[in-house]
Amino acid sequence: MANTPQSKKRARQSERRNDVNKARRSRIRTFIRKVEEAIASGNAEAAVAALRAAQPEMARGVTKGVLHKNTVARKMSRLSARVKSLNA
C-alpha cells in the first residue's frame, strides 16, 4: 500500500490513466470490429469507410501510448490488405 504522499498521488493518477487508457483501447477495438464486420459482409464501400474512420483512431492510440507503434502498423496493414482484396 502507498505510504508517502507522493506514492498516494501516483496511485490516484495511475488509476485515472488506467480508466482513460481502457476506454481508448475499447474505442479502438470497436472501430476495428466495424471494419471486420464490413469485410465479413462483403460490402466493399462500407469496409473502406470503416477503415478510413479506424485509421486515425488507431494512430491516436499510438501517440497516447496505449498501443505500440508496430502493433498498430501491422493491424492497419493487414486490414487495408483485406479491404483491398474485397475490391479486386
Q: Which CATH superfamily is 5-87 part of?
A: Ribosomal protein S20 (1.20.58.110)
Task: Give the chain's end-to-end CA distance (angstroms, integer).
Answer: 58
> Using one digit for the tens of pLDDT, what is the confidence trace for 17-52?
999 999 999 999 999 999 999 999 999 999 999 999
Judge contact between 84 and 58, C-beta under 8 A: no
Residue boundaries of the structural domains of the chain: 5-87
Please name the residue that has the C-alpha cell 505500440. Answer: 68
Q: What is the pTM of this model?
A: 0.87
Q: Rounded CA gap, 14 and 37, in Å?
A: 34
